[in-house]
């Protein structure tokens, strides 16, 4: 996690660095800092967010610098643990994203050689190693230093003796933006999109020397070329456009995102299908993407009859037995460490992987044999919303393109899928009702979300959204499971949100709701607009626009996102940047 940026150019570095950094706060925001080369390297950092550094940092006039926003892994948020970190002489400043797994032994041997450490971080070994190896070339010193590192890193190194920045990456993203007589470096494109849309993605093992008008990349000492890519989205995509929060903006973008994802993947259809006679499929993902994976599992089994298992990335990595066949890795960022590790495990077992990701050039897309790009555009809010529905759309398309699907169902679903953007637009008419119900929810400390069949993962997703941004303890359950334990937690008035689709599970859902009502819980039911069966049974009914029951997860997700949003707002939570969370989880 953590966000890093670098600037070398013809303008004052500090304002540009801090502006870029403010767009990376979704990667971490417990402390931040900047280092600029004036006569010597000047560092300003603290346990504060970027905005405070922007206000308080003294004037720095240099045109070369680095900056960092932190998501603490080694040592709590504090001034000394904040980046940039310096060596003993103060000649090298380093910002780092990733985790150096062998830092303790390195720190021990460097300490024995006389190096003095002031932080508890793993990162601080890097400037000390550079100091140790530096003779006359900063690139050579960085190469020698990273050769000692185990773990993951993207680093930007500022040296007092050079008018360039040196960068390196391994298992952690880094992108170089090319400007006019200036260069920008960042963990992710949104940081620099206001300045340039021409970028070079570094690959694992790359070391780069970046001056204001040149980028030189080497691997194992040999110079190598990397393609310059043009980013198609613009600066307006990383601004709030009048919305109070990115999350609300991103929820409202979903009709557009669905349309764009449908168009994009239809064009690419020939290379996207799962192989015809594949024995089984493993889907790997984490968090919200895992919930999308569960829906993928449901539709693949239901419509294609392929045995499919969805695994949480971090759990998959401990499995001894792999299923034969192919795999699908779902990851919005394409950088989630747990997913990448699982992908590498699958890759070394010779299993073909299809990645579904939102980020071009991401590590997941490079490991995968094939990639479906969802067209969510940059998602700034830590809570995933539009990327989730775009992942669902990609999974539906994947299934519809498969030769084994029944043609009648395929044709029906294909037509209904095209209507989904309009159906989702209609969900926004329910916003006043959702706001109303969020008042009730915001006054409780605990809530349950229940669903069955294809809407069970939506119960999980509804609970995940609520807990992460409103801090209300929320559980997602398969409705039939409540009686196997969680019933003990039902008390008079406890909010239960029931997702009821018009499918084969409808009557069992009604039975579960009756059991819950018998325990005096307060039930809000999300039902199809044509369904009157719960009108007299539950406390609140939210009627969502009709869709094919197999597509109902897409439609049902949106009111739950809005519910989480309005509840968090009433509770005064920092919606876009929930405590302890970061958008791109690049640590195991």
Contact between 377 and ligand F6R per CB under 6 A: no
Q: Where are the beta strands (DSSP E) in 394-482?
A: 446-451, 473-478
> d(Cα 512, Cα 180) in Å, to the nearest integer?
63
Cβ within 8 Å of residue 180, ≥6 positions away: none
Q: CA neighbours within 13 Å on the CB side: how many for 524? A: 25
Cα dihedral across residues 115, 121, 127, 130: positive or negative: positive
Structural contact between residues 487 and 519, judged by C-beta atoms closer than 8 angstroms: yes
Q: Which residue of the set 2, 20, 57, 573 is catalytic?
A: 2
**Residue with Cβ nearer ligand F6R (512 or 557):** 557
Nearer residue to ligand F6R within complex by CB, 188 or 468: 468
**Binding segment (CB under 6 A) for ligand F6R, from list 53-61, 160-168, 314-322, 328-336:** 328-336
Half-sphere exposure of 302 (CA within 13 A, CB side): 17
Number of CB atoms found within 10 A of residue 190's CB: 24
Residues 382-411 interacting with ligand F6R (rule: CB under 6 A): 383-384
Instruction: Select the residue interacting with ligand F6R from 123, 336, 365, 423 (CB under 6 A).
Output: 336
Minimum CB separation of residue 287 from ligand F6R in Å reads: 2
Q: Examine residue 288 and tell whether it contacts ligand F6R (CB under 6 A).
A: yes
Is 585 near ligand F6R (CB under 6 A)?
A: yes
**Alpha carbons 347 and 353: distance in angstroms, whole number:** 7
**Residue closer to ligand F6R (CB basis): 516 or 585:** 585
Taking the C-alpha atoms of residue 157 and residue 219, their distance in angstroms, rounded to an integer, is 17
Nearest residue to ligand F6R by CB is 287
Of 81 and 557, the one with the shorter C-beta distance to ligand F6R is 557
460 scored as a contact of ligand F6R (CB under 6 A) = no
Whether 2 is a known active-site residue: answer yes
Q: Is residue 549 a contact residue for ligand F6R (CB under 6 A)? A: no
Out of 63, 81, 152, 333, name the contact with ligand F6R by CB under 6 A: 333
Given CA atoms 243, 245, 251, 253 in this order, what sign does their dihedral have? Answer: positive
Among 28, 190, 287, 421, binds ligand F6R (CB under 6 A): 287
363 binds ligand F6R (CB under 6 A): no
Question: Is 361 among the residues that bind ligand F6R (CB under 6 A)?
Answer: no
> Judged by CB under 6 A, which of 146, 281, 311, 339 binds ligand F6R?
339
CB of 578: closest distance to ligand F6R in angstroms? 9
Q: Does 331 bind ligand F6R (CB under 6 A)?
A: yes
**What are the tokens at 376?**
């969510």
How far is it, in rounded angstroms, from Cα 450 to Cα 51?
A: 40
Q: Which lies closer to ligand F6R via its Cβ, residue 196 or residue 289?
A: 289
Q: How far is the CB of 383 from ligand F6R (least distance, A)?
A: 4
Taking the C-alpha atoms of residue 275 and residue 281, their distance in angstroms, rounded to an integer, is 10
> Minimal distance in Å, beta carbon 548 to ligand F6R?
25
Asked if residue 310 binds ligand F6R (CB under 6 A), the reply is no
Residue of 42, 45, 164, 583 marked catalytic? 583
Q: How far are the Cα atoms of 413, 414, 436, 479 from residue 549, in angstroms, in the given order?
A: 10, 13, 26, 17
Tell me the DSSP string of 229-252.
Answer: EE--S-GGGGS-TT-SSHHHHHHH
Active site residue 164: no
The answer to whether 358 touches 332, Cβ cutoff 8 Å, is: yes
Can you give the three-state secondary structure of 155-206, one letter per residue?
EEEEECCCCCEEEEEECCCCEEEECCCCEEEECCHHHCCCCCCEEEECCCCE
Write out the catalytic residue numbers.
2, 583
Give the residues lining the site for ligand F6R (CB under 6 A). 286-289, 331-333, 336, 339, 383-384, 464, 468, 585
């Amino acid at each position: 996690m953590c966000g890093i940026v670098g600037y070398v150019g013809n303008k004052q570095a500090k304002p540009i660095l801090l502006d870029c950094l403010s767009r990376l706060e979704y990667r971490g925001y417990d402390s931040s800092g900047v280092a600029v080369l004036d006569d010597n390297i000047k560092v300003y950092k603290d346990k504060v967010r970027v905005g405070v550094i922007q206000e308080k940092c003294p004037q720095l006039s240099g045109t070369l610098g680095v900056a960092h926003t932190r998501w603490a892994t080694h040592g709590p948020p504090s001034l000394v643990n904040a980046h940039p970190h310096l060596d003993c002489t103060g000649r090298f400043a380093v910002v780092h994203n990733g985790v150096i797994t062998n830092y303790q032994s390195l720190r021990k041997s460097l300490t024995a050689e006389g190096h003095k450490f002031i932080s508890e971080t793993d990162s601080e070994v890097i400037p000390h190693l550079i100091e140790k190896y530096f003779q006359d070339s900063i690139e050579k010193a960085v190469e020698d230093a990273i050769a000692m590192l185990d773990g993951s890193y993207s680093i930007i190194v500022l040296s007092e003796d050079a008018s360039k920045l040196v960068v390196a990456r391994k298992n952690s993203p880094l992108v170089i933006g090319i400007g006019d007589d200036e260069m920008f470096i960042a963990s992710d494109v949104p940081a620099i999109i206001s300045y340039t849309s021409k970028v070079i993605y570094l690959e694992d093992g790359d070391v780069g020397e970046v001056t204001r008008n040149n980028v030189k990349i080497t691997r194992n000492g040999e110079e190598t070329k990397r393609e310059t890519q043009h980013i198609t989205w613009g600066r307006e995509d990383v601004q709030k456009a009048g919305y109070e929060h990115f999350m609300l903006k991103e929820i409202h973008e979903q009709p557009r995102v669905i349309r764009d994802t449908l168009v994009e993947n239809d064009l690419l259809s020939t290379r996207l299908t799962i192989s015809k006679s594949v024995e089984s499929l493993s889907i790997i993902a984490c968090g919200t993407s895992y919930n999308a994976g569960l829906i993928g599992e449901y539709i693949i089994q239901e419509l294609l009859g392929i045995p499919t298992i969805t695994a949480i990335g971090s759990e998959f990595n401990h499995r001894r037995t792999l299923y034969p066949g192919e795999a699908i890795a779902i990851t919005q960022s394409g950088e989630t460490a747990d997913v990448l590790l699982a992908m590498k495990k699958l890759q070394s077992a010779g299993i073909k992987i299809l990645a579904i990701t939102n980020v071009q050039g991401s590590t997941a897309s490079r490991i995968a044999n094939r990639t479906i790009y969802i067209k969510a555009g940059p998602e700034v809010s830590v809570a995933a919303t539009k990327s989730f529905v775009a992942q669902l759309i990609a999974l539906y398309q994947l299934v519809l393109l498969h030769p084994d699907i029944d043609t009648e169902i395929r044709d029906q679903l294909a037509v209904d899928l095209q209507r989904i953007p309009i159906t989702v637009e209609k969900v926004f008419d329910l916003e006043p009702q959702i706001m109303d119900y969020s008042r009730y929810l915001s006054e409780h400390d605990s809530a349950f979300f229940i669903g069955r069949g294809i809407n069970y993962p939506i119960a999980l997703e509804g609970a995940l959204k609520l807990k992460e941004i409103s801090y209300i303890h929320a559980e997602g359950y398969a409705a039939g499971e409540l009686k196997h334990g969680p019933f003990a937690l039902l008390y008079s008035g406890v909010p239960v949100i029931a997702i009821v689709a018009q499918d084969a599970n409808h009557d069992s859902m009604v039975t579960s709701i009756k059991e819950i009502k018998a325990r005096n819980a307060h039930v809000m039911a999300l039902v199809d607009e044509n369904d009157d069966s719960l009108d007299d049974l539950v406390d609140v009914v939210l009627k969502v626009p009709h869709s094919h029951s197999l597509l109902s997860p897409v439609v049902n997700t949106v009111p739950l996102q809005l519910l989480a949003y309005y509840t968090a707002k009433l509770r005064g939570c920092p919606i876009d940047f929930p405590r302890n969370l970061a958008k791109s989880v690049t640590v195991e």
